[in-house]
Amino acid sequence: MIGKKILIKGIVQGVGFRPTVYTYAHASNLSGWVRNTSGGVEIQVTGNPESVSVFLTQLRTNPPPLAKIDSFSVEEISPLEYDDFNILLSEPGEGDFLPVSADLNFCPDCARELFDPTDRRFRYPFINCTNCGPRYTIIQDIPYDRKKTTMSAFQMCPACEKEYHDPQNRRFHAQPIACPICGPQVSFEINGKQVCRGNEAIIQARDYIQSGKIVAIKSIGGYLLACDAANEQAVSNLRLRKNRIQKPFALMASTIGKIEDHCNVSQEELNILSSSSSPIVLLEKKSSSTISAVIAPGQRTLGFMLPYTPLHYLLLEPTDGYPHILVMTSGNVIEEPIAYKDDDARQHLDTLADGFLMHDREINIRTDDSVIRLFRGNNYPIRRSRGYAPIPIFLPNPIAPMLAVGAELKNTITVCRDEYAFMSQYIGDLENLETTESFEETIRHMEKLFRIQPQIIACDLHPDYRSSVYAEYRSCSDQVPLIRVQHHHAHLAACLADNGWDSSEPVIGVCFDGTGYGPDRAIWGGEFLLGGYNGFDRLFHLAYTPLPGGDAAISKPARSALAHLWKANIEWDPGFESSQSLTDSELSILKNQLKMGINSPLTSSMGRLFDAVSSILGICQFSTYEGQAAIELENLADPFEKGSYSFLHYGDLIDPSTMWIELIQDIHNKISASKIAAKFHNSIAQMILSTCSSIQLSTGCKIVALSGGVWQNIRLLASTIDYLTDAGFKVMIHRQVPTNDGGISLGQIMIASAQSGKR
Ligand code: ZN
Ligand code: ZN
Ligand code: FE
């Protein structure tokens, strides 16, 4: 007989780990025990050497499908005599912590039961098991145990209790276990009054949607607003009420077949759609699609997801006459965070929804749906939230406990300890009180959940960001150092960490985005950096152009266009689309602003250059959501056009003047906007290649990291990667965290850790 003690770390709780261990141990005739600790799963076994070895191999090669094992240690102990193999109660250790599972997509086993009339959970919208259901959004503290979730409000009935305690049952220790007798219930409310419950409530919601009404639906991480995607009037109504003029809406389809009616879906995309994370996936729209242009104006893609809770399945159950595709957009008033508390929803969504499909399982932390795009078969996250947060990013080296608060737009925060960086769900744009409160709430929650007392706090270099102001306050109150990280340096570091980079060798960071505060107080955004976690040199950047009106120029791309022409000494032809989009008085104010340098901060922003081209071509004159002008420019670009314009380098400046002269010439020659848009994209990719080649010549560096919001442009991404790899460069792009500002907090953590020497 021999004895072994095994400690397994990673995402090992809430994913059916102990029952699997139990089954394997029994099959190998081992005695001993398994238990959850706050540090992982701990096992002790006694048996003959052969059986123990079979057991260990089985556990290593065939762990539960949703577990994510980060370490697996085995230690020899003296064999102890146990009668049997048992599952022991949890043993929380002081300060121990453990990664927490993200919320899990509804599983096929539960789906079968949901529609089985003989099952006691037939048509019960909260059916779940060890392989599926809510996790992060209901967990209040660790270790993951029912009494530390929002399910503690529900007393298990004897039948559920029996399943919960039976190691052979697939609901063994499924913390959110519930049934129609003992679990949460749905209800339908109109004007704050409950009108029905249970199945009737779901039917009522379906009827409402079918008749063109808008229904607020309590989902996993917050309220969603739903309407029939085929009803143009309903969709327009939703836009009007949400004051969401053109930003695309996400869709939820009853089946993958319904998605394939409208989009091309690759095998990889199908896998992501139906994965345990079940995000919104951006899919290429078919030309034959009948989805109204109102859903996603100016887009070549549609964002689709599949139902991911039993409630969604019941809502979208294929029945004659009922819609198969619903708009499912976050339930919030413009710029506010998604509503997740019932009273809040009643108050804030009152003018948006005609009815409310609610339930009495509390959501502990708000979490929006995630958005993923696939690029060449790999994940390219746009928004990393439900289903992904708080799965940790595994770091190359253990680091001290820290907090990074991110930037301003698309904010996320990251806390870290040991070799884990826990990036939060998507918090949103920190532009108002509500979102800032959500930001602080998320920080408090994650610090508590992962037992993190930050020894260092990192924030953006921009002194006025709400996140920076908070970081300053925390640094004072906690008496810990504050490290301010330049925005594009953080982008570079985020991309490196995303790729598991662990070297001090400098890398070329092509960091292109809309806005980031530079140490010279200019607005950076078209940057070629050379560096790593420890620091950077700014080797080249887009020549500064004034941004008349500052932020006002972001919503009116014509301002960027005319500023660029002014800088390039090109007359403002009254026939230019940009000139025509502004009134005469606006034009004269603009000219004056530029001449006198009034309220015209200097910028090297690549995002604004895309805006400018979009405006001069008459594609977008009013940007109603971040990146709109650039996205529409990309979508219009002719895929076959090979021509390009020239950028010149002067010292460390990349001057777009020649590009503008050539582009304006094309406009005068009546070349189509589609061809000009394509030539512009090609020019940027070529300019990147020539700039990187020049850096390589002087430094020998052959590795490039692409980060920043501009890299959501897939056409630019593809051609840049092709040019660079053909020239022998190794190129890193994002895979786990967004390339936009949603990835900034991870970069800040890495830089703070390197610069403080606390690794
Ligand atoms: Zn299940
Ligand atoms: Zn029950
Ligand atoms: Fe950025």
- What distance in angstroms lies between residue 105's CA and the mean position of ligand 1's atoms? 8
- pLDDT over 60 (residue 701): yes
- The ligand minimizing its distance to the Cα of 465 is 3
User: Which residues make up the environment of ion ligand 3, defined by Cβ < 5 Å?
Assistant: 513, 741
- What distance in angstroms lies between residue 131's CA and the mean position of ligand 2's atoms? 18
Burial letters 53-70, b for 16+ CB under 10 A, else e: ebbbebbeeebbebbebb
Residue tagged 């009495």 (tokens): 360
- What distance in angstroms lies between residue 50's CA and the mean position of ligand 1's atoms? 34
Given a contact cutoff of 8 angstroms between Cβ atoms, the answer to whether 339 and 349 are in contact is: yes
Residue among 97, 168, 62, 184 at smallest CA distance from 134: 184
Asked whether the domain spanning 389-499+741-756 has the same topology as the one spanning 2-87, the reply is no
pLDDT of 555 reads 93
Mean pLDDT taken over the chain? 95
- What distance in angstroms lies between residue 177's CA and the mean position of ligand 3's atoms? 42
- Of the listed ranges 99-103, 114-118, 446-450, 479-483, the one predicted with least confidence: 99-103
pLDDT of 553 reads 87
- What distance in angstroms lies between residue 734's CA and the mean position of ligand 3's atoms? 14
Domain positions in the chain: 2-87, 118-183, 186-359, 389-499+741-756, 510-732
- pLDDT over 80 (residue 14): no
pLDDT in tens, 442-501: 999 999 999 999 999 999 999 999 999 999 999 999 999 999 999 999 999 999 999 999
Burial letters 683-703, b for 16+ CB under 10 A, else e: bbbbbbbebbeebbeeeebbb
- Of the listed ranges 74-78, 257-261, 603-607, 656-660, the one predicted with least confidence: 74-78
pLDDT in tens, 653-691: 999 999 999 999 999 999 999 999 999 999 999 999 999
- Of the listed ranges 247-251, 333-337, 514-518, 558-562, the one predicted with least confidence: 333-337
- What distance in angstroms lies between residue 557's CA and the mean position of ligand 3's atoms? 18
Virtual torsion, Cα 586, 591, 594, 596, nearest 10 deg: -110
pLDDT of 82 reads 83
pLDDT of 758 reads 64
Read off the pLDDT of each residue in 40-48 and give the average, rounded to a whole number: 93
Q: Using CA atoms, how far apart are residues 372 and 233, in angstroms rounded to an integer? A: 28
Read off the pLDDT of each residue in 188-217 and give the average, rounded to a whole number: 97
CATH topology for 2-87 is Alpha-Beta Plaits (3.30.70)
CATH code reported for the domain at 510-732:
3.30.420.40
CATH topology for 186-359 is DHBP synthase (3.90.870)
Percent of the residues in the chain that have a pLDDT greater than 90, as a whole number: 90
- pLDDT over 70 (residue 203): yes
Q: Tell me the pTM.
A: 0.94
Q: Using CA atoms, how far apart are residues 488 and 513, in angstroms rounded to an integer? A: 9
> Check: CATH 3.40.30.10 for 389-499+741-756?
no
Residue-wise DSSP of 10-43: EE-SSSSHHHHHHHHHHHTT-EEEEEEETTEEEE
**pLDDT band for position 36 (cuts 50, 70, 90):** confident
Read off the pLDDT of each residue in 39-64 and give the average, rounded to a whole number: 93
Q: Using CA atoms, how far apart are residues 317 and 307, in angstroms rounded to an integer? A: 10
**pLDDT band for position 38 (cuts 50, 70, 90):** low
pLDDT of 10 reads 86
Given a contact cutoff of 8 angstroms between Cβ atoms, the answer to whether 455 and 483 are in contact is: no
Beta strands, E only, 286-375: 301-305, 325-330, 355-359, 371-375
Q: Using CA atoms, how far apart are residues 468 and 458, in angstroms rounded to an integer? A: 8
- What distance in angstroms lies between residue 278's CA and the mean position of ligand 1's atoms? 14
pLDDT of 759 reads 55
